[in-house]
Each structure stands twice: as structure tokens, then as C-alpha cells.
Amino acid sequence: MNDVKFSIEGSSVSVSKGTSLSQIVPDVKNGTRPVFARVDGAIVDLDWTVEDDARVDWIYPDSQEALDILRHSTAHLLAQAVLDLFPGTQTGVGPAVENGFYYDFLKDTPFTPDDLGLIEKRMRELAEEDFQINKETLDKDAALRMFREMNHDLKEELVQEKGGDKVSCYRQGNFIDFCRGPHVPSTGLIRHFKIVSVSGAYWKGEEKGKQLQRIYGTVFFSREDLDHHLELIEEAKRRDHRKLGTELDLFSFHEDLGAGLILWHPKGGAVRRVIEDFWRDEHFKAGYDLLFSPHIAKLDVWKRSGHTEFYDAMYPTLESDEVEYELKPMNCPFHIMVYNSRQRSYRDLPLRWAELGTVYRHERSGVLHGLMRVRGFTQDDAHIFCRPDQLEKEIQGAVRLALSMLKTFGFSEFDVYLSTRPEKYVGNPEDWVTATKALEDALRSVGLEFREDIGEGVFYGPKIDIKIRDALQRSWQCTTVQLDFNLAERFNIHYVGEDGGNHRPFMIHRALLGSLERFFGVLIEHYNGNFPLWLAPVQIVILPIADRHNDYADRLNARFIERGLRSQVDRKREKIGYKIRHAEMQKIPLILIVGDKEVQDETVSPRIHTIGDKGQMPVKEFLEKVDNLVENKSLVLDL
């Protein structure tokens, strides 16, 4: 018998061995046809041939998997266009990324804006030619020889490092690339794309590596989706936290200070204080204690923790009294030292210790980006030491606390990932199974849908990553909950069990907001600088119409400040219209206009930013409403 059976969408189908999926792909369904398939869980091209019984699920253009494959295929189209236009250019890597794709190129001269236009035009011409995209499997030696003859040193290096005995390549027209695929069937399916920018990149991300040029683009299956995304890109430029940070006087960078180091201005500092106070209050409620640790430690600490061996973002060492010290890149060893400062009993656990600890990481200059990627930042760090029977409950608590806090800041959409044991790991397999199951059960218990990243855990333990979606549907990494078998062993931590013997506790690393700097940058862009009342750096500005109204404005201001509100008086001798425009440009939520009538009646006339005047009201009524909005951390300002 040469027939094999497929289970396709609930039906059993018999086909001959050697049949390609393209021969049995169904007719148009809801206006579209499948563009890929998932065979026994693995995504494949439609030219995949049937050899054994399998389960087949069709993948349609409206799925995320299909969009990711389209993006990667468009990266190949970009590379084909560049090589056509600029012979001698070498290609690096070209993956799909969120909202688009990129490809890295080694070229003697920089790409110009005119070049990008020519490249996009050539891509459209190649798409119109509708080249079939076919997989070719070569012996490794043949693949190396092919790229060597093409003078593609970078690609030859990739094949040497990542290729197996058989090397997967994809060809379209005169272009061939080392790639595992899958890809769209032909270039004719790549229609709605746009080249958006070019930047520098290092080969393999190594700062001492070759300097490449990275061309970014975006692509969708429909013109409507592309146009919508391009509108979001323009809106993102308007919301850029670096631009708003200057306009709203929140923070600054200075060349004399050093790259990636931030100065928080009074207004930015006010928001940070609110975030930190809220963070501390929520942690105390959740049963955490606070720790404080120094900014440096002896180099031996970092050798023992493994950072000097595995972590490449360490600053150069400092020397004092013939002893070498290191700026801390993480807080973990300090918390472990506190744990080891005395003997611990099973009755002491769990221990939940949190710290707003400032750390220093020597990020490459090319990846620094405003508040989002810096060299000195404060991490909302915590470590939980617990017994095996407490593990699942502690993970649940960490995830629930994260969701509660993120929702309070106005985030309601999350992308969640569970990363499991990689090929190289520390600890014993039984602990990995226990830890991974605890992470999975915790996610299910709080009702979070998640993707499982097989083998993508860090070497020291499995982890949960929670990314938030902002107002522009961009994804930002915030929460991470990680199990650590490495430091627990390196620092020999234990507790005395009920049986009187020493036992190794589980150690949980967790950060909820990530770094305060990055989280602040996300908040700025999410709200376009229009912070909700409880977070706003200045909550109320009082605008006296004339000098004779200043005393009343000052009395109001003192009353507001006494109640803990962030209020100020604009005493500039300007027309009231100018003062209002200035307050609106500063995005102050509540503007109080004070004139003769307000002084006489002892009232206020609030104006809500972007909404308008709300009419006169007694001061007591105004304060009650404002206090209620702030206390409840309302995201909507409505008096």
C-alpha cells in the first residue's frame, strides 16, 4: 500500500505517498485559501510532500502564523532586491519581527533615502514576476561551496555554524538563501508592504563584529491593514517619549553625563514617586518585605554567581585598597546573602523580599534608545524563597500581583509566554518538571492564555514572560517570573526541614514592571503624555485672571497641597487665554480659572484637559470629587 491517511479538520483523507499539500489544498473558504499547513504541530510550506500518516491543519492568511511567514518571505524579497540593485552586497539575517521584518546587509557605502525608494520599487517588480519560492536541500559541503563562490562570507559562516549534514535553502528566481522556512508559495502573494527605515547593526549582535546596515519594513495581507499600521507608525512618532519628555520637562540625557544615563526632572520625579509609593504599598499588602543593597560588590561575588562567566554587559572592574569591585548588574546575590545571614527553618518560608534596586549594564551604544534601553536603571526586583509545596501558590501570587498592578496603570491586554527547559541547563530534570508545571498551573489558575516556547527557558530555570499591549497595540516586556536552580546551588542556600535535614528551597526571581525607566517611557507613549489624574506630575494648575485674584489662588493652592494634591499657581502676567493654552500644552489634567466671581463666591471653575469647562462648583465639592478620583486611581477624569 502506498496510501497514507491524513486527519484534516476532523475528516480522514487517504492520499498517495509523495503527494504535495498543494495538490490537496481546499478551495476558497470565506474568501481565502490556506497559505500554509501545520503537520503534526510543525508549520510547513504547501510543497511539503506526504510520506506518513499525519494530522494536518490548514493555516489561513488571517492567522498570526501566516503573517509571521509572510513577513519572513518579504525579508527574502528585500534581500533579492538589494542584491539586484547593489551587486557585491552581502546578506546577514532577515527574520520576521513584531509588526514587520528586517534584513541585515554588509555594504561599503550607506544606504540613502533614495536607495530605500529604489529598493521598494524593485521589490514590487520582483513580486509582480511571481517567482515560485522553492525549498532546496543541499549537502553541507555543497551549501558552503555555493555561498563561497557567491562571495557571501557571512552566509558561509552561518551555514558552518548552524547547518546540519543537510542544509535547507530557499530559492526564488536568481536569489537563494540559507533558511529553514517556511515561506509563501510565490512572490506574487507579497503585495502590501512598505520599507520604513534603515539603521546600524552589528554582526551577531557583537559590538566588535562587522558593522552592518539593517533595513526595516512592514507587510500585511491587505492594503487596509497596511494603511492602518502606517497610521500607527505616524502616531507613534507623535507619542515618542523622548520628544514628550523634553516638551513636558520630565527627564533629560546629557552627553557630558554619559550615554544611557538619565536625569529625572522634578515633574518626572513626581511621577516616579507616585509609582514607587504605589509599588511599595501593593507589595506590603502582598506580604513582601523590602531590602536595600549597595551598588557595588567585590568581583568575587560576581564570579561566584556566574555573571563574569555568562553575562557580557558587566562594566569594567573598579579597584580600591587592592580589591576589585564591580557595579551590580543585578540584585540577586545580595538577596541570597541576606538569606544566608542566618539559618532558615521550613517554618520561615516563604520569604518574599523586594527591592527597587538601581543596576548598571554596559549596553552597546547602538541599542540605547531613550528610556527604553539605558545603562543605569532601577528594577522592581524581588526574590521568593519557598518550599516545593509552596511553589505553585507563590507563582500564582506573583502573577496575580503583576496583573493587578498593570491593570491599575491602564493596561488590559497581555501576551504571555511560558519558556521551558533548553538543551543546556543546570539543576536536575525532576526539579525542572516540577517548576515548569507550577508555572503552567499558575497561568491556568489566573485564566491567562499563553504560548509555550519549547526549549526557550534560560539555562538556570523555566520562566513566564508577560508583555503588555499599549494604546497603539505595541507589545512591551514587563513582567517576568523565573525559577532559578543555578544561584541556589552556587551559593549553597538551604533550610532545615521538618525532618531535621537540609533542603534546597526553590528560588523565584520576579520583576513586575521591569525597569522604572522603561515603564515610565511606555506610560508616556501609552497616554501620549496625558497621564490619568492620579499619575499626573501636576494635577491642578490655578490660573488667576488678574493680580487681585492671586491671594485667593494662593489660598486654594495651599489647601490642595495640604490634601496631598500636586498643585501650582501660574502667576505669569499674561492674558488668561495664553495661560490656558500653556496649561493645555503641558497636559495638566485640571485647570482652575479664578476671577472675581470665584473669589466672591469662594468657588472654582474647573476646565478638564482636552474636554473643556465644567462650570462653577463649590471648593468642597470639587475636592471631594478629585480625592475620590485619585484614591480610586481612576483612569477617566470626569467631574
Tell me which of 112 and 26 has the higher pLDDT. Answer: 112
CA angle 291, 293, 297 (to 5 degrees): 155
SS3 471: coil
pLDDT above 80 for 50: no
- Least confident segment among 1-5, 266-270, 588-592: 1-5
Average pLDDT taken over every residue of the chain? 92
pLDDT band at 209 (very low <50, low <70, confident <90, very high): confident
pLDDT above 50 for 1: no
Q: What is the pLDDT of residue 187?
A: 94
pLDDT above 90 for 577: yes
User: pTM (2 decimals)?
Assistant: 0.86
pLDDT band at 429 (very low <50, low <70, confident <90, very high): confident
Q: What is the pLDDT of residue 387?
A: 95
pLDDT in tens, 114-134: 999 999 999 999 999 999 999
pLDDT in tens, 494-535: 999 999 999 999 999 999 999 999 999 999 999 999 999 999
- CATH 3.10.20.30 occupies which residues in the chain? 3-60
Judged on CB neighbours under 10 Å (0-12, 13-18, 19+), 51 is exposed
DSSP string, 563-577: TT--EEE---SS-HH
Q: What is the pLDDT of residue 410?
A: 97
CB atoms within 10 A of CB 239: 19
Fold annotation for 3-60: Ubiquitin-like (UB roll) (3.10.20)
**What's the average model confidence in pLDDT over 486-491?**
89
Q: Percent of the chain having pLDDT more than 70?
A: 98
pLDDT in tens, 624-639: 999 999 999 999 998 8
CATH tag, 540-631: 3.40.50.800
Q: What is the pLDDT of residue 31?
A: 62
pLDDT above 70 for 2: no
pLDDT in tens, 317-355: 888 888 999 999 999 999 999 999 999 999 999 999 999
Q: Please, where are the H alpha helices in 502-541?
A: 516-527
CA torsion angle 321 326 328 329 (round to 10):
180
Q: How far apart are CA 226 and CA 193, in angstroms?
A: 7
Q: How far apart are CA 104 and CA 86, in angstroms?
A: 14
pLDDT band at 28 (very low <50, low <70, confident <90, very high): low
- CATH 3.30.980.10 occupies which residues in the chain? 65-230
Q: Percent of the chain having pLDDT more than 90?
A: 73
Q: What is the pLDDT of residue 140?
A: 94
pLDDT above 90 for 43: no
Q: How far apart are CA 438 and CA 341, in angstroms?
A: 28
pLDDT above 50 for 155: yes
pLDDT band at 185 (very low <50, low <70, confident <90, very high): confident
Q: What is the pLDDT of residue 30?
A: 59
**What's the average model confidence in pLDDT over 411-425?**
90
Tell me which of 51 and 333 has the higher pLDDT. Answer: 333
Catalytic residue numbers?
332, 361, 379, 381, 383, 463, 509
ω before 388 within 30° of 0 (cis)?
no
Q: How far apart are CA 431 and CA 462, in angstroms?
A: 10
pLDDT above 90 for 454: no
Fold annotation for 65-230: Threonyl-tRNA Synthetase; Chain A, domain 2 (3.30.980)
Q: Can you give the three-state secondary structure of 393-450, one letter per residue?
A: HHHHHHHHHHHHHHHHCCCCCEEEEEECCCCCCCCCHHHHHHHHHHHHHHHHHCCCCC
Quick one: cell of 589?
A: 489634567
Fold annotation for 251-527: BirA Bifunctional Protein; domain 2 (3.30.930)
- CATH 3.40.50.800 occupies which residues in the chain? 540-631
Q: What is the pLDDT of residue 456?
A: 82
**What's the average model confidence in pLDDT over 38-45?**
79
Q: In the Cβ-directed half-sphere of 574, how many Cα atoms lie within 13 Å?
A: 12
Phi, psi of 522 (to 5 degrees): -65, -45
The dihedral region occupied by 151, where left means phi > 0, alpha psi between -120 and 50, and beta the remainder, is left
